[in-house]
Amino acid sequence: NTERQPWKEAVIYQIYPASFKDTDSDGWGDLPGIISKLDYIRSVGADTIWLSPIYASPQNDMGYDVSDYRSIHAPYGTLEDVDRLISELRARDMKLWMDLVVNHTSNEHEWFKVSRRSRDSAKRDWYFWRDPKYDAEGIRKPPNNWKGMFGGSAWTYDETTGQYYLSLFLPSQPDLNWTNSELREAVHDDIRFWLDHGVDGFRIDSMNLMSKHPDLPDGEITCPDEEYQSGDKWFASGPRMHEYLQELRTKVFDAYNAVTVGELGFTKDEESVSKYVAKSRHEINMLFTGDIIDMDFGPNGKYTPGGGFHPRQLRSLTEKWQTAMPRFDGWNTLYLDNHDSGRSVSRYGSDDPRYRTYAAKMLATYLTTLSGTLFLLAGQEIGMANLPKDMGIDQYIDVEGKNYYNKVLQSRGGDHSKMADIMKELQLKARDHGRLPMQWTDGPNAGFTSPEACPWMTVNPDHKLGWNVETQQDDPNSVLSFWKESLAFRKKFVDVFIYGSFEMLPESATHEKVVAYKRKDHSSDKEALVLLNFSDQNSTVTIPWVTRWVVLRGNYSTAPIRGEMIALRPYEAVVYCSG
């Protein structure tokens, strides 16, 4: 795992294409917009872009419902635009990763249209079709009790043939049946199509759902009051999962030296994770285990009240993966934001104007001083935050949050005034926040689109208060400047921060709100200590040996007072180095 590789040192900038930059005033970001910002992305210190899906799609799930893997959703542009993007990236020594959404397609994909036509259709077996069940009263029921990821049953009834098809996400996202080898080959060909165009890597969406238990058994009844239950034990990391990944690797990715990162749900224990990423298994390069994104979920799901963030969770997950990956020769991903969640500064830091800059810089210090490949969501580098709390439910448009809100609303007699607890969760974690239009300027529509255009998603009004690229670009104290410096700093000390060893200081040795760890170069004595205060209060830590160390970096303009007792100011981050 200390073997140096460009992909391990890469900084990957995730672009949610609809929200990045619109050049034709339709309120929807596009490929020419992305091309126009490549110099900017490079200037931040990123060398690779990962595009959330840009394929043809009816956009029921913002492109995670693909209707044709080989063409581009028209508002984004054309295949020629992708070719131009690739050559512009090459000219800057940058790389392109695409999102690979092959656990399911859109119901408008030609494969599904053929599949649904008749029970003996040539592509019937490319999806999961099953007969209905009937209860004692003769009422038609789905083939099993699985709950869909966005609510309701995971099965959709189709009148055409009187059968149900499996749709773990939306009814318009039917699951592909990977046990069918013709389907697998068709998917392989579609992937090769992009690799031949020059794509360098993929983020594999819902990766470990691609193999299900062949019998599709009922999920255990854990919520007796609910009609449908979680079936994850049977649909996540199924028996042929590793076979499919090894096949993808040897038959497709290897010939192109493509790099892959898989999204992993449900089976996140060390042993399962090691099977995906141990180098010797030749499957994928890295994983998003997602547990860092799920830290503050409620006990019965993302938006159920009763969750919340404590730095203790981050301390233990960071220690777990920083120490586990080297053990099984895997490689970490580092991320705090993506398009499925709230902005990290609002969730794990603070978007209170008094602390926001410090908190955003503190989180940047966390991400840039750990071992792994670093992923940044567009806007994170300028400290973009969640929608303001005074915005009501009508500003939230994502299907996941809306479906959940409506389900609870119904159970509370349709009374919006009783929804404050759920609103609070949405304000922190709704997927909308990760999808807000990029804030380029303090002008109309934050410069995301022209002033007269209507952006597809609410623009956060805080772009007028300095939370935009233009304002931060020339300010040496801005979050943006801090990110640029932090990424350069990380590069300068790759042997410590990217390839070095890791040791977490226990909570008892520091402070409950302080995350503190040491990083050490394997081949020299160079050592660093990182102290991060996840609190809006001063947190005092006592680390006697650090009195001899020097401060390398921090997010306050002055270093904390030197001594055995270090009083960290709100959201302060300090990096010390031994000698």
Residue from 265, 307, 372, 560 in contact with ligand ISL (CB under 6 A): 265
CB of 245 to ligand ISL, least distance (A): 17
Residue 64 or 440 having the CB closest to ligand ISL: 64
Alpha carbon distance 532, 511 (integer Å): 10
Identify which of 281, 313, 273 has the alpha carbon closest to the alpha carbon of residue 297: 313
Residues 465-504 that bind ligand ISL (CB under 6 A): none
Residue 169 or 335 having the CB closest to ligand ISL: 169
Amino acid at 3: E
Residue 342 or 455 having the CB closest to ligand ISL: 342
CB of 196 to ligand ISL, least distance (A): 25
Residue from 13, 28, 64, 253 in contact with ligand ISL (CB under 6 A): 64
Cα→Cα distances 280→1, 238, 274, 276, Å: 11, 21, 10, 10
Length of the chain: 579
Binding status of residue 405 toward ligand ISL by CB under 6 A = no
Residue 95 or 431 having the CB closest to ligand ISL: 431
CB-CB contact of 174 with 112 (8 Å): yes
Alpha carbon distance 228, 221 (integer Å): 8
Q: For strand 373-377 and strand 11-15, is the pairing parallel, antiparallel, or unpaired?
A: parallel
CB of 179 to ligand ISL, least distance (A): 20
**Cα-based angle 9, 10, 16 (whole degrees, multiple of 5):** 155
Size of the site for ligand ISL (CB under 6 A): 14
CB of 174 to ligand ISL, least distance (A): 12
Residue 206 or 535 having the CB closest to ligand ISL: 206
Binding status of residue 206 toward ligand ISL by CB under 6 A = yes
CB-CB contact of 533 with 513 (8 Å): yes
Residue from 205, 232, 296, 432 in contact with ligand ISL (CB under 6 A): 205
CB of 340 to ligand ISL, least distance (A): 4
Residue from 22, 47, 232, 400 in contact with ligand ISL (CB under 6 A): 400
Which of 263, 283, 337, 527 is flagged as catalytic? Answer: 263
CB of 347 to ligand ISL, least distance (A): 12
Binding status of residue 527 toward ligand ISL by CB under 6 A = no
CB-CB contact of 574 with 560 (8 Å): yes
Alpha carbon distance 331, 325 (integer Å): 6
Residue from 20, 55, 169, 456 in contact with ligand ISL (CB under 6 A): 169
Per the annotation, the verdict on 263 as an active-site residue is: yes
Residue 263 or 462 having the CB closest to ligand ISL: 263
Alpha carbon distance 513, 311 (integer Å): 6
Residue from 109, 123, 302, 490 in contact with ligand ISL (CB under 6 A): 302
Binding status of residue 167 toward ligand ISL by CB under 6 A = no
CB of 149 to ligand ISL, least distance (A): 5
Distance between alpha carbon 414 and the CA centroid of its chain, in Å? Answer: 32
Cα pseudo-dihedral 532, 537, 542, 548, rounded to 10 = 60
Alpha carbon distance 59, 216 (integer Å): 28
Binding mask 273-292 for ligand ISL (x = CB under 6 A): --------------------
Q: State the DSSP code for 539.
A: E
Binding status of residue 337 toward ligand ISL by CB under 6 A = no
Binding status of residue 97 toward ligand ISL by CB under 6 A = no
Which of 205, 294, 296, 337 is flagged as catalytic? Answer: 205
Q: CB under 8 Å to 188, separation ≥6 — which residues?
A: 248, 251, 252
Per the annotation, the verdict on 291 as an active-site residue is: no
Cα→Cα distances 565→73, 364, 545, 562, Å: 57, 24, 11, 8
CB of 401 to ligand ISL, least distance (A): 8
Distance between alpha carbon 253 and the CA centroid of its chain, in Å? Answer: 22
Residue from 101, 166, 387, 505 in contact with ligand ISL (CB under 6 A): 101
Residue 332 or 341 having the CB closest to ligand ISL: 341
Alpha carbon distance 76, 17 (integer Å): 8
Residue 30 or 340 having the CB closest to ligand ISL: 340
Residues 533-562 that bind ligand ISL (CB under 6 A): none
Q: Which residue number has the CB closest to ligand ISL?
A: 64
Identify which of 52, 36, 88 has the alpha carbon closest to the alpha carbon of residue 447: 36
CB of 563 to ligand ISL, least distance (A): 44
Instruction: Name the 3-class secondary structure at 577.
Output: strand
Q: For strand 201-204 and strand 527-533, is the pairing parallel, antiparallel, or unpaired?
A: unpaired
Residue from 22, 47, 61, 200 in contact with ligand ISL (CB under 6 A): 61
CA atoms within 13 A on the CB side of 126: 24
Taken in order 390, 396, 401, 402, the sign of the CA dihedral is: positive
Binding status of residue 340 toward ligand ISL by CB under 6 A = yes
Alpha carbon distance 568, 558 (integer Å): 11
Q: Which residues bind ligand ISL (CB under 6 A)?
A: 61, 64, 101, 149, 169, 205-206, 263, 265, 302, 339-340, 400, 431
Catalytic residues: 205, 263
